[in-house]
Amino acid sequence: MANHIANTQQALPKLAELLIRKLGMPSYSDELIGDMQEEYGELMMKNPKTASRWMWRQTLLASWEGQKSLWQTPLFVNVITGVFTAMLLFVIVGFVVWLSNMDSTTPLLWEQILNGQIHYIVFSPDFWQQARFAVNNTPVDIFMFMNVPSVVWAMAWAVAMLLLSKRYTMSPRLFSVVGMALSAVPYLVGYTVINTQNLDPKQIGPILAYMIIAPLYILPMLSAWAFFRNKGIAG
Sorted by where each begins, the domain ranges of the chain are 2-71, 74-230
Alpha-carbon Rg of the chain, whole angstroms? 26
Q: Give the number of C-alpha atoms closer than 13 A to the C-alpha of residue 117, restricted to the C-beta side.
A: 13
- pLDDT higher than threshold 90 for residue 196: yes
pLDDT at position 4: 45
Helices 172-183 and 74-100, interaxial angle, to 10°?
Answer: 10
Helix (H) or strand (E) holding 226: helix 201-230
pLDDT at 229 over 80: no
- The beta-strand segments (E) located in 66-143 are none
- For 42-65, letters b (16+ CB in 10 Å) and e give ebbeeeeeebeebbeebbeebbee
- Cα–Cα distance for residue pair 208/229, rounded to 1 Å: 32
Mean pLDDT of 207-234: 80
Residues in the chain: 235
Give the mean pLDDT of 190-204: 91
**pLDDT tier for residue 235 given thresholds of 50, 70 and 90:** very low
Read off the pTM: 0.64
More confident: 27 or 159: 159
- Res 224 pLDDT > 70: yes
pLDDT at position 70: 66
pLDDT above 90 covers a percentage of the chain that reads 19
| Per-residue pLDDT at 72 | 63
The pLDDT of residue 188 is above 90: yes
Q: How much is the average pLDDT of 30-36?
A: 84
- What does the pLDDT read at residue 9? 56
pLDDT the model gives residue 234 = 42
pLDDT for the residue 160: 92
Segment of 13-27, 77-91, 123-137, 207-221 carrying the highest mean pLDDT: 207-221
Using a 10 angstrom Cβ sphere, with 0-12 exposed, 13-18 middle and 19 or more buried, the burial of residue 163 is exposed
- Predicted confidence (pLDDT) at residue 89 exceeds the cutoff of 80: yes
Q: Cα separation of 65 and 27, whole Å?
A: 12
- CA separation, residue 203 to residues 72, 115, 162, 191, 194 (Å): 43, 12, 33, 13, 9
pLDDT tens per residue across span 125-173: 988 888 888 878 877 778 888 899 999 999 999 999 989 888 888 777 7
Name the average pLDDT for the chain. Answer: 83
Which of 111, 229, 103 is closest to 170 using CA atoms?
229
Pair 53, 11: CB distance under 8 Å? no
Other CB atoms within a 10 A radius of the CB of residue 13 amount to 13
Q: How many CB atoms lie within 10 A of CB 33?
A: 20
Q: Residue 184 has what DSSP assignment? A: T
